[in-house]
Structure 1
Amino acid sequence: MSTAQAVVAGLLANGIETIYALPGVQNDPFFDALYHAQNRLRVIHTRHEQGAAYMALGAALATGRPQAMAVVPGPGLLNASAALATAYSTDARVLAISGQIPLGAIGRMTGQLHEIRDQTGLLRSMTKWNAMVTGPADAPAAVEEAFRQLLSGRPRPVALEVPMDVWPRTGLMPALRTAEPLPAPPVDEEVVEQAARLLGAAERPMLVVGGGAHAAREEVRRIAEALAAPVLSVRMGRGVLDGRHPLAVTVPAAHRLWAEADAVLVVGSRASGALGGWGTEGLKLVRVEIDAEEMHRFGAPTIGLQGDAAAILPALAERIAVHRRARPGRMEHIAGVKAEVMGRVAERLAPQQAFLRAMREVLPEDGILVDELTQVGYAGRALWPVHGSRTYLSSGYQGTLGWGLAAALGAKAARPEAPVLSISGDGGFMFNVQELATAVQHGIAVVAVVFTDNAYGNVRGFQKQHYGGRVIATELRNPDFVRLAESFGALGLRAEGPAALGEALRRGFANADGPTLIEVPVGEFPSPWEFLMLPKVRPAG
Structure 2
Amino acid sequence: MPKTAAQKHPRKAPKKAKAEVNELTTAEATVETLLSHGIRTVYALPGVHNDYLFDAFARASDRLSVIHTRHEQGAAYMALGAALATGKPQTYSVVPGPGLLNSGAALLTAYGMYAPVLAMIGQIPAQAIGRDQDHLHEIKDQAGIIARLVDHAVLIKGAAEAPSKVAKAIRSMAEGRPGPAALECAIDVWGQRGPVGPIPDPMPPRLPRPDEDKVRKAAKLLGKAKRILIVAGSGAWGASPEVTQLSEMLQAPVLSYRRGQGVLDGRSPFSVNLPLGHELWGEADAVLAVGTRLFAPLQQWGVDRDLKIVNVSATADGAGKLHKPDVALIGDAAPSLRALIAALERTNEKRASRADEMRERQARMRARIAKLGPQLAFLEAIRAELPEDGILVDEVTQVGFAARLAFPVYKPRTFLSPGYQDNLGWGYATALGAQHARSDVPVLSINGDGGFMFTANELATAMRHRIPLTAIVFADGAFGNVRRIQQEQFGNRVIASDLANPDFVKFAESFGARGLRARNPQELRFALRESFAIREPTVIEVPVGAMPSPWEFIHMPRVRGKTKR
Q: 1:519 aligns with which of 515, 538, 541?
A: 541
State the alpha-carbon separation in 2 of the partners of residues 135 and 199 from structure 1.
53
State the alpha-carbon separation in 2 of the partners of residues 39 and 296 from structure 1.
47
Whichever residue aligns with residue 167 of structure 1, its letter is W
Q: 2:555 aligns with which of 533, 537, 541?
A: 533
Tell me the secondary structure at the aligned position of residue 431 of structure 1.
helix
Tell me the secondary structure at the aligned position of residue 369 of structure 1.
strand
CA deviation map 1:252-309 (0-9, x unaligned): 1100111100000001111101122111112100011112111111221111111111
Q: 1:162 aligns with which of 161, 164, 185?
A: 185
Which residue of structure 2 lines up, in the alignment, with residue 53 of structure 1? 76
Q: 2:40 aligns with which of 17, 21, 45?
A: 17
Task: Report the Cα offset of residue 426 of structure 1.
Answer: 0.1
Q: 1:293 aligns with which of 306, 312, 317?
A: 317
Task: Report the Cα offset of residue 320 of structure 1.
Answer: 1.7
The total of aligned residue pairs comes to 539
Whichever residue aligns with residue 268 of structure 2, its letter is H
| Residues 1:379 and 2:402 aligned together | yes
Whichever residue aligns with residue 561 of structure 2, its letter is P
CA deviation map 1:135-193 (0-9, x unaligned): 12121111110111022233200000000000000000021112313421121122111
Q: Taking structure 1 as reference, are residues 6 and 329 closer, same or farther at Cα in structure 2, changes over 3 Å only?
A: closer
The answer as to whether partners of 1:223 and 1:320 remain within 8 angstroms in 2 is: no
Q: 2:419 aligns with which of 396, 407, 413?
A: 396
Which residue of structure 1 lines up, in the alignment, with residue 14 of structure 2? none
Whichever residue aligns with residue 558 of structure 2, its letter is K
Tell me the secondary structure at the aligned position of residue 131 of structure 1.
strand
Which residue of structure 2 lines up, in the alignment, with residue 83 of structure 1? 106
Which residue of structure 2 lines up, in the alignment, with residue 354 of structure 1? 377
Whichever residue aligns with residue 352 of structure 2, its letter is P
State the alpha-carbon separation in 2 of the partners of residues 459 and 272 from structure 1.
24
Which residue of structure 1 lines up, in the alignment, with residue 362 of structure 2? 338
| Residues 1:44 and 2:55 aligned together | no
The answer as to whether partners of 1:256 and 1:337 remain within 8 angstroms in 2 is: no
Aligned pairs for 1:80-229 (under 5 A) are 80-229=103-252
The answer as to whether partners of 1:152 and 1:181 remain within 8 angstroms in 2 is: no
Structure 2 runs not aligned, ≥5 long: 1-23
Which residue of structure 2 lines up, in the alignment, with residue 235 of structure 1? 258
Whichever residue aligns with residue 144 of structure 1, its letter is A
| Residues 1:487 and 2:477 aligned together | no
Whichever residue aligns with residue 196 of structure 1, its letter is A
State the alpha-carbon separation in 2 of the partners of residues 48 and 538 from structure 1.
47
Tell me the secondary structure at the aligned position of residue 424 of structure 1.
strand
The answer as to whether partners of 2:96 and 2:123 remain within 8 angstroms in 1 is: yes
State the alpha-carbon separation in 2 of the partners of residues 511 and 321 from structure 1.
50
Tell me the secondary structure at the aligned position of residue 259 of structure 2.
helix
Task: Report the Cα offset of residue 485 of structure 1.
Answer: 0.3
CA deviation map 1:22-78 (0-9, x unaligned): 000000000001001111111000000000000000000000000000000000000
State the alpha-carbon separation in 2 of the partners of residues 378 and 459 from structure 1.
14
Identity %: 53
Which residue of structure 1 lines up, in the alignment, with residue 276 of structure 2? 253
Task: Report the Cα offset of residue 329 of structure 1.
Answer: 5.7
| Residues 1:312 and 2:362 aligned together | no
Structure of larger gyration radius: 2
State the alpha-carbon separation in 2 of the partners of residues 104 and 363 from structure 1.
54
Task: Report the Cα offset of residue 352 of structure 1.
Answer: 0.4
The alignment yields a C-alpha RMSD, in angstroms, of 1.0
Task: Report the Cα offset of residue 8 of structure 1.
Answer: 0.6
State the alpha-carbon separation in 2 of the partners of residues 321 and 205 from structure 1.
16
Which residue of structure 2 lines up, in the alignment, with residue 284 of structure 1? 308
Whichever residue aligns with residue 283 of structure 1, its letter is L
Q: Which moved more, 1:286-295 or 1:472-481?
A: 286-295
Q: 1:457 aligns with which of 454, 467, 480?
A: 480
Q: TM-score, normalised by structure 1?
A: 0.98
State the alpha-carbon separation in 2 of the partners of residues 244 and 320 from structure 1.
26
State the alpha-carbon separation in 2 of the partners of residues 320 and 206 from structure 1.
16
Task: Report the Cα offset of residue 233 of structure 1.
Answer: 1.4
The answer as to whether partners of 1:252 and 1:342 remain within 8 angstroms in 2 is: no
State the alpha-carbon separation in 2 of the partners of residues 321 and 460 from structure 1.
54
| Residues 1:423 and 2:433 aligned together | no
Q: 1:506 aligns with which of 529, 544, 547?
A: 529
The answer as to whether partners of 2:316 and 2:328 remain within 8 angstroms in 1 is: no
Tell me the secondary structure at the aligned position of residue 293 of structure 1.
helix
CA deviation map 1:485-532 (0-9, x unaligned): 0000100001001000010101111122x3100000000000001001
State the alpha-carbon separation in 1 of the partners of residues 269 and 40 from structure 2.
39
Tell me the secondary structure at the aligned position of residue 73 of structure 1.
coil
Whichever residue aligns with residue 319 of structure 1, its letter is A
State the alpha-carbon separation in 2 of the partners of residues 42 and 415 from structure 1.
15
Which residue of structure 2 lines up, in the alignment, with residue 27 of structure 1? 50
| Residues 1:326 and 2:350 aligned together | yes
Structure 1 runs not aligned, ≥5 long: none
Q: Which moved more, 1:234-243 or 1:255-264?
A: 234-243
Tell me the secondary structure at the aligned position of residue 202 of structure 2.
coil
Tell me the secondary structure at the aligned position of residue 151 of structure 1.
coil
State the alpha-carbon separation in 2 of the partners of residues 443 and 492 from structure 1.
15
State the alpha-carbon separation in 2 of the partners of residues 153 and 506 from structure 1.
42
Q: TM-score, normalised by structure 2?
A: 0.94
Which residue of structure 1 lines up, in the alignment, with residue 6 of structure 2? none
Whichever residue aligns with residue 219 of structure 1, its letter is E
Q: Which moved more, 1:211-220 or 1:75-84?
A: 211-220
State the alpha-carbon separation in 2 of the partners of residues 153 and 364 from structure 1.
34
State the alpha-carbon separation in 1 of the partners of residues 78 and 222 from structure 2.
41
Whichever residue aligns with residue 443 of structure 1, its letter is R
Task: Report the Cα offset of residue 323 of structure 1.
Answer: 2.1
